[in-house]
Amino acid sequence: MLVINCKGTPREIGLEHGAKAARQIKSGIEYYKLQFGRTSALTWPEVCNTAMKFDPQLQERYPWLREEMQAIADSAGVQYPEILALNFRQEIIFGLYADGCTSLAWKTTETSFLAQNWDWMIEQKENIIVLNIDAPGKPRMSMGTEAGIIGKIGDGTGLNSSGVGVCANGIRVRGVDYNGTPVHICRRLILESETRDEAIAKIEKYGTAASGHMLVGDATGCISLECTTKGIIKLHPDGKGRLLHTNHLLVKHEGTYDNLWLKDSPVRLERLTELANQLGRNPSEAQIAELFKDEHNLPYAVNRMADEKDPAETLFNIIMDLTKATAIFKFGRPSEPEEVLILTP
């Protein structure tokens, strides 16, 4: 798979990203053009116009990220609003494009693990990249992402050289708040943070523009953020130091309705919990890796497999050791990875 190393100013980072991943970015744009056409009444120009509603916010709050995205567009040979559409697709149609994922955080007596299977449409598999970013004055970052998206993934997964990591789960709750921070920008802000608490403060400052879940952690442990446009609710680890999440809200959020868009989400959560309960207080990285290979309830398993009814599949797995600030990234289903990378930002 494509690994891109970016270093320098926001523009230099964006130019490198766009130049090296131009083919994948253009392929992703064509994919989402088709998807929006199939599932909504919006044309691609209308999608891009909607994405541009967030541009004033970028100019005011996050000008360095705006500069990076403009540079991606310039060097990839696409339009700036198209890069915004990739990054803000979840906000454009109220969470229509929320990714399916299974995630786990586990603070043992020895380390702090953060892990996830990222499930998404098999057509986008060829457009996944690993992005390493070295920006002056910020922690070095490594993330798995769709080409052109600056804060993933996972629906957001990555870690930085300070041992701050994030995993994310799509949650489809209607509503968009143009004053809130888009979810992919939130994940990038987390990876630009020196500590878990600094990262969470950045997300809480403006709230999120759309619904979603994020597991945010460092060597001290993780906190779960269930986010809707109505607010953010924090969930804390259980008595064994664990947090587990899939694709539905675990607590009540006033004024919202979770339509349980992935009916297998509770099944995956129950299964992951069952398997985790079979481990001791201090599981190894290898034991956690085995959890994410589970195929109970195929094709809608923790280790998901595409079929003729549903083209979504586990496209990668990541297991982070936040104490060591390293991660094992497996491209493809974790039971049969096509490539394994060690991330050391």
Q: Which domain holds residue 170?
A: 100-343
Does the pLDDT of residue 97 top 70, yes or no? no
| pLDDT > 80? residue 209 | yes
Beta-carbon count within 10 A of 326 CB: 17
Residue 148 sits in the same domain as residue 216: yes
Q: What would the pLDDT profile of 113-159 be if each residue is shown by its tens digit? A: 999 999 999 999 999 999 999 999 999 999 999 999 998 754 346 89
Question: Are 88 and 107 within one domain?
Answer: no
User: According to the model, what pLDDT value does residue 96 have?
Assistant: 56
Judge contact between 54 and 178, C-beta under 8 A.
yes
Tens digit of each residue's pLDDT (9 = 90 or more) over 18-38: 999 999 999 999 999 998 888
pLDDT-above-90 percentage for the chain:
89
Is residue 240 located within the same domain as residue 274? yes
Number of domains the chain contains: 2
The mean pLDDT value for 306-316 works out to 93
Per-residue pLDDT at 155: 39
Residue 305 has pLDDT above 60, yes or no: yes
Tell me what pLDDT residue 93 has: 75
pLDDT at 154: 40
Domain boundary among 92, 113, 133: 92
Task: Specify the higher pLDDT residue, 14 or 93.
Answer: 14
Residue 253 and residue 124 share a domain = yes
Shared domain check, 59 and 156: no
What is the reported pTM?
A: 0.96
Mean pLDDT in residue range 185-213? 97
pLDDT for 144: 94
